[in-house]
Amino acid sequence: MMSPPPRSSITLYNQQQQQAQDDVVGVAEEATEANMTTTTKTKAQTPLSEIVEAFEELAKSLNSRRNRNSDKGAGGELRLDAFSRTCSLVSVLFSCLGLAFRFAESEYVAKVRDLVEASKEYNTLQTIIDIDVANGTVRTSGSHSRNLRRVRQGLDLIRALFEQFLSTNDYSLREAATTAYSQVCAPYHTWAVRTAVYAGMYTLPTRDQLLLNLNETEHSAKKNMRMYIKASLPVIQYIDRLYISRNISLDW
């Protein structure tokens, strides 16, 4: 008959087993934590959520200055560098829409790039408009004021598109984009441009493809779209007031 193993051996064996179990649990917990971190990071880094966060910061900046000296009734000031950086994020939305919005993407990106360069010399949106007013170049092709106006239209086009997208689940992206374009940009484009744009609407991705391009679910996309509409509208309206307060019409 074999004698039982020494008590010390049993204790050592139990300790080793417990350590092995603890190691498995520890690895599992680390994997879960890493997965949660990665998921959170991925969600935070979706193009749409990043854009929303940036516009919310701009809106807060405007609100925080409302009680200070207003700019001829426009209400506060908006730094050109922060504005242009935020607007540069929006270009990815145009690229996600494909060929139909390639015209808007190319024009928008060029205008934003001009404002980024201008922000190295001028502090605020008011400044670039005032300089063009003094020089009589507000509507001149290539002027900062004209480029600002075009960037503003790009932001409004995305806002209108999101509003149409959210209006019903049965609304196709083509229908939503056509309506948005007709409201925001078509009145200022030539017949040739309008014709090309409307023809290109048939190449737009489906709703599901758009969500995939944006790395969003139906739920998260709708949430972020609503947040973009809410955060961008005060910025858009603020830009309009900058022109109107200087007796500059918006029909161009």
How is residue 195 written in tokens?
Answer: 């014709």
Q: Name the residue with higher pLDDT: 169 or 109.
A: 109
Cβ distance 128 to 145 under 8 Å?
yes
Phi-psi category of residue 75: left, alpha or beta, with phi > 0 → left and psi -120 to 50 → alpha: left
The pLDDT value recorded for residue 99 is 77
pLDDT band at 16 (very low <50, low <70, confident <90, very high): low
135-160: average pLDDT: 96
Average pLDDT of the chain, as a whole number = 83
The pLDDT value recorded for residue 65 is 64
Q: Among 21-25, 63-67, 118-122, where is mean pLDDT lowest?
A: 21-25
Give this prediction's pTM.
Answer: 0.78
CA distance 65 to 122: 19
CA distance 179 to 157: 10
The pLDDT value recorded for residue 9 is 46
pLDDT for residue 13 is more than 50 = no
The pLDDT value recorded for residue 131 is 97
End-to-end CA distance of the chain: 103
Q: Among 12-26, 89-103, 135-149, where is mean pLDDT lowest?
A: 12-26
- Alpha helices by DSSP H, 45-124: 47-64, 80-96, 102-118
94-110: average pLDDT: 85
Instruction: Provide the β-strand partners of residue 106.
Output: none
pLDDT for residue 19 is more than 60 = no
Q: Name the residue with higher pLDDT: 14 or 230.
A: 230
pLDDT for residue 146 is more than 90 = yes
Cβ distance 188 to 207 under 8 Å?
no
pLDDT band at 31 (very low <50, low <70, confident <90, very high): very low
